[in-house]
């Protein structure tokens, strides 16, 4: 485990919706090795034609309802796709070109109908926003996205493993239960891990991106948030959850490596009382001042 780090990862599930800021052309190139055929939807007929001219140079493409045997890529407007869905809908994962425009162009009902037919979407967009026709979409980044399945105190043990064994290189966003954001923050501070959490006034809030917390994030390299994945617009993301997250690759940790530290971890957790979390009572950092030497955090980044 000592030499193991989280690495950039690209994996796609047919049963999950995604959003990415990658171009449609790049996205198609990335997922073609994974799927036998791909269908692209665009709101513009001219854009469909442009995509056809670009992609047909290297791939066997089908435009609208033109007869092509075994195409690798099929390109439609949403309406034409729905009208020809029996013939066109071989791939259950559809790539949406400029997906933030679909609602503005009046395609909401059509996209909902396509969704009801059992299709999932990869939305390519310059503007990541809430898509009514998608179900809990996951942000695709150029970095890594993992979830660690953990119950109760295992989440804190997981963080101890991650930092004690220097598994992180670069900045990262931790996505946790919103009710526990301050508890995670205090816990990491105790062990000498500089971090920040997105907050407004005295309340930890849920919507954030690197742009919104730019100054704090650049200084600390680690931020804690609690929110649906669609709002976590960060390059590297780790989800700590007691449930599996569809479309995110799991990461299994060996907790036996830190059994000798469990008493320290539990002692800290017992001290982070509800009164401390609510800010009614100050946390006694002085009591744990010598515990920081357990983790050499400065060498992590």
Q: What is the CATH number of the domain that holds 61?
A: 3.40.50.300
* Structure confidence by residue, pLDDT tens digits, 66-87: 777 678 889 999 999 999 888 7
> What range does the domain containing 250 cover?
145-299
Residue with tokens 């946790």: 176
- Residue 6 within a domain: no
- Verify that 190 and 119 share a domain, yes or no: no
pLDDT at 2: 44
pLDDT bin (cut points 50, 70, 90) of residue 110 is very high
Q: What are phi and psi of 163, to 5 degrees?
A: -85, -35
How far is the CA of 110 from the CAs of 37, 101, 135, 228, in angstroms? 22, 13, 15, 25
CA-based Rg of the chain, rounded to a whole angstrom?
A: 23
**Are 22 and 100 part of one and the same domain?**
yes
**pLDDT above 60 (res 43):** yes
Q: How far apart are CA 76 and CA 63, in angstroms?
A: 7
Spatial separation of the C-alpha atoms in residues 242 and 140, rounded to whole Å: 22
Whether residues 131 and 154 share a domain: the answer is no
For 130-169, give one letter per residue: b (16+ CB within 10 A) or e. Answer: ebebbeebbbbbebbbbbbbbeeebbbbbbbbbbbbbbbe
Residues 118 and 162 in one domain: no
List the structure tokens of 166: 């220097």
Mean pLDDT of all residues in 32-57: 89
Residue 298 has pLDDT above 60, yes or no: no
Place of tokens 């809030």: 205
| 164, 65: one domain | no
Predicted confidence at residue 96, as pLDDT, reads 96
Give CA 75 to chain center in angstroms. Answer: 27
153 with 113, same domain? no
Q: Locate the DSSP E strands across the chain.
A: 18-20, 38-41, 61-63, 73-76, 93-97, 120-124, 138-140, 145-149, 172-175, 196-197, 199-200, 203-204, 208-209, 222-225, 232-233, 237-241, 249-250
What would the mean pLDDT of 151-167 be, rounded to a whole number?
Answer: 81
Residue 295 and residue 183 share a domain: yes
The partner residues of 284 in beta bridges, in order of sequence, read: none
Mean pLDDT, residues 180-203 taken together:
76
pTM of the model: 0.58
Question: Which has the minimum average pLDDT: 28-32, 51-55, 265-269?
Answer: 28-32
Among residues 93, 114, 136, the one where a domain terminates is 136
pLDDT of 142 higher than 70: no
For the chain, percent of residues with pLDDT exceeding 90: 25
- What angle (nearest 5°) sits at the alpha carbon of residue 172, between those of residues 20 and 245? 60
Taking alpha carbons only, the member of 275, 218, 247, 282 closest to residue 122 is: 247
Residue pLDDT, tens place only, 210-247: 444 444 444 445 677 665 544 455 667 888 888 877 76
Return the residue matching tokens 């299994």. 252
Q: Are 133 and 111 in contact (CB under 8 A)?
A: yes
Q: Check: CB of residue 143 under 8 Å from CB of residue 237.
A: yes
CATH number at residue 167: 3.40.50
**2 occurs within a structural domain:** no
Task: Provide the token pair at 269.
Answer: 């957790």
pLDDT above 50: residue 155: yes
Q: How many domains does the chain have?
A: 2
In DSSP notation, 126-180 reads: SS----TTSSS-EEE-SS-EEEEE--TTHHHHHHHHHHHTT---S-EEEE--GGG
CA 213/CA 254 separation, integer angstroms: 32
């Amino acid at each position: 485990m000592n030499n193991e780090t989280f690495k950039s990862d690209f994996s796609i599930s047919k049963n999950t919706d995604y959003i990415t800021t990658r171009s449609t052309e790049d996205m198609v190139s990335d997922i073609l090795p994974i799927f036998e055929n791909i269908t692209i939807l665009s709101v513009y007929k001219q854009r469909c034609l442009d995509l056809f001219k670009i992609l047909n140079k290297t791939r066997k493409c089908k435009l609208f309802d033109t007869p092509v045997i075994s195409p690798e890529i099929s390109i439609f407007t949403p309406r034409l796709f729905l009208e020809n869905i029996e013939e066109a809908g071989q791939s259950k994962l559809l790539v949406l070109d400029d997906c933030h425009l679909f609602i503005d162009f009046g395609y909401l009902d059509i996209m909902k109908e396509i969704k009801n037919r059992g299709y999932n979407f990869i939305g390519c967009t310059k503007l990541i926003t809430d898509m009514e026709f998608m179900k809990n979409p996951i942000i695709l980044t150029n970095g890594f996205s993992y979830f660690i399945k953990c119950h109760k105190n295992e989440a804190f043990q997981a963080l101890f493993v991650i930092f004690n064994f220097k598994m992180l290189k670069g900045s990262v966003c931790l996505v946790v239960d919103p009710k526990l954001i301050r508890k995670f923050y205090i816990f990491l501070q105790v062990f000498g891990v500089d971090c920040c959490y997105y907050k407004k006034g005295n309340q930890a809030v849920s919507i954030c991106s690197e742009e919104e917390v730019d100054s704090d994030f650049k200084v600390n390299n680690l931020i804690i948030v609690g929110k649906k994945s669609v709002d976590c617009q960060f390059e590297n993301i780790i989800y700590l959850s007691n449930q599996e997250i569809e479309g995110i690759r799991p990461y299994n940790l060996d907790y036996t490596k830190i059994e000798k530290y469990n008493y320290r971890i539990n002692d800290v957790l017992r001290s982070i009382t509800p009164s401390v979390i609510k800010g009614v009572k100050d946390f006694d950092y002085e009591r744990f001042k010598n515990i920081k030497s357990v983790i050499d955090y400065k060498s992590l980044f």
